[in-house]
A = this chain, B = another copy of it.
Amino acid sequence: MNIAQRLSGITPFFVMEILARAHALERQGHDIVHMEIGEPDFPTPPKILEAAARVLSDSAIKYTPAAGLPELRRAIATFYEHRYSIRLDERRIVVTPGASGALMLVMGLVLNPGETVLLADPSYPCYPNFVRLFGGIPRSLPVDEASAFNLSAAMLGAQWDASVAGIITASPANPTGSIMAPRTMQALIEFVDERQGFAVSDEIYHGLEYALPAETALKTSDEVFVINSFSKYFGMTGWRLGWAVVPESAIDGAERLAQNLYISAPTLSQWAALAAFDPENLAELEQRRRQFAERREVLCKGLSQLGFLIRAKPEGAFYVYADSSRVTEDSQAFAFALLEKAGVAVTPGRDFGAHHPERFLRFCYTASIPRIQQGLDRIAAFLNV
């Protein structure tokens, strides 16, 4: 059996290794503080569970239309009107199995083999893998605090050539939590639009913002592809439900591709997600957002005191991408040692790119404040501070 060549370009995530080792230590009776997992610690909100229970009792749970339940597409369109004051034709909303399904759908729609896609480094590790999956070439552009860890139109100007077909960008971003200023976003999208490239805006962490709200790329252009999900802000990771917003001209192709790629997103999740927009549920989510905001303060302050540098204060998502170069020269070895010796799980920079990953660690504040504090205390002891 020969495995396809593309697999050699697809590296395992170190976070999965860390997680597996953490679970093994837990089975041996050790207590582990989890700050490696990009998943809210909150359970599925009660309103969603109630809606799912109602559906279970009166539905056959069959395939839905490939682009999603009409009711859900409409509810998402209404959500854009409420949250962003944008009117979207609901036919432009394609419901997907998670943001992963949306990324796959959109990459399948826009990318030809051999074309280059520009990405920020660091960024979400699946982006380059989705590009490779369809025969494209990811080109990662190093970003740092000078551009708030984001791509900028100036960077694109220096890199755009005949081989480049488009960009993938995220705001709030993983692993940095950075939010793109509306002006930066607008300049990026306009730059790409003018060159008839594609712009994919990953907005999966929208709603998890602690200073100013993130702006949707749809404010600038109707030609962008937006990725979003019920996983993070809405707290529905295991339900595997997301969506893409596609330009008018891509609706037909998106529907054909969805039929082939996944037939339809999980039915029960789709019905349950209708309750996500219920005012009572949104109030619960706001309550959770405030808790994330408090945790962020505790974690940022604690890490700074321990000698980590936070080069740009994270403004969204639930990540701190901390410069650990004063503490260690090798963040990966440090992460594994920290787990073994101190019982704290964090993710080494290597998962997110090649731009000095050895200097960075990602800390998630997907744990309660007492647990975060415990994690910080353990790190302090480990460092002998």
> Which A residues contact B (CB, under 8 angstroms)?
1-7, 10-13, 16, 39, 43-44, 49, 52-53, 56-57, 59-64, 66, 97-98, 100-101, 104, 108-113, 126, 129-130, 133-135, 196, 198, 223, 236-240, 247, 249-250, 253, 255-257, 259-269
Asked if B61 and A44 sit within 8 Å, CB to CB, the answer is: yes
25 contacts between A and B (CB under 8 A): A1-B198, A3-B253, A4-B110, A7-B109, A7-B256, A10-B256, A12-B255, A12-B256, A13-B259, A44-B60, A49-B57, A52-B56, A60-B238, A61-B236, A62-B238, A97-B262, A100-B262, A101-B262, A134-B134, A134-B135, A240-B262, A240-B266, A266-B266, A268-B268, A268-B269
Which among A1, A7, A53, A63 has the greatest number of chain B C-beta atoms within 10 A?
A1
Asked if A104 and B261 sit within 8 Å, CB to CB, the answer is: yes
Asked if B39 and A61 sit within 8 Å, CB to CB, the answer is: no
Query: How far, in angstroms, from A96 to B41 measured CA to CA in the complex?
Result: 24
How many identical chains are in the complex?
2
Query: How far, in angstroms, from A138 to B103 measured CA to CA in the complex?
Result: 25
Q: Which of B66, B111, B126, B250 interacts with A260 by CB under 8 Å?
A: B126
Return A24 CB to nearest CB of chain B, in Å. Answer: 13
Which among A7, A134, A255, A263 has the greatest number of chain B C-beta atoms within 10 A?
A263
Query: How far, in angstroms, from A38 to B372 measured CA to CA in the complex?
Result: 51
- Complex interface: chain B residues within 8 A of A130 (CB): 260
- Complex interface: chain B residues within 8 A of A39 (CB): 62-63
Q: Which of B10, B66, B238, B266 interacts with A238 by CB under 8 Å?
A: B266
Chain B residue at minimum C-beta to C-beta distance from A111: B4
Asked if A253 and B1 sit within 8 Å, CB to CB, the answer is: no
Task: With A1-B196, A4-B108, A4-B112 as known contacts, state yes or no: A239 contacts B266, CB within 8 Å.
Answer: yes
Q: Which of B249, B253, B264 interacts with A240 by CB under 8 Å?
A: B264
Return A21 CB to nearest CB of chain B, in Å. Answer: 14
- Complex interface: chain B residues within 8 A of A113 (CB): 113, 135
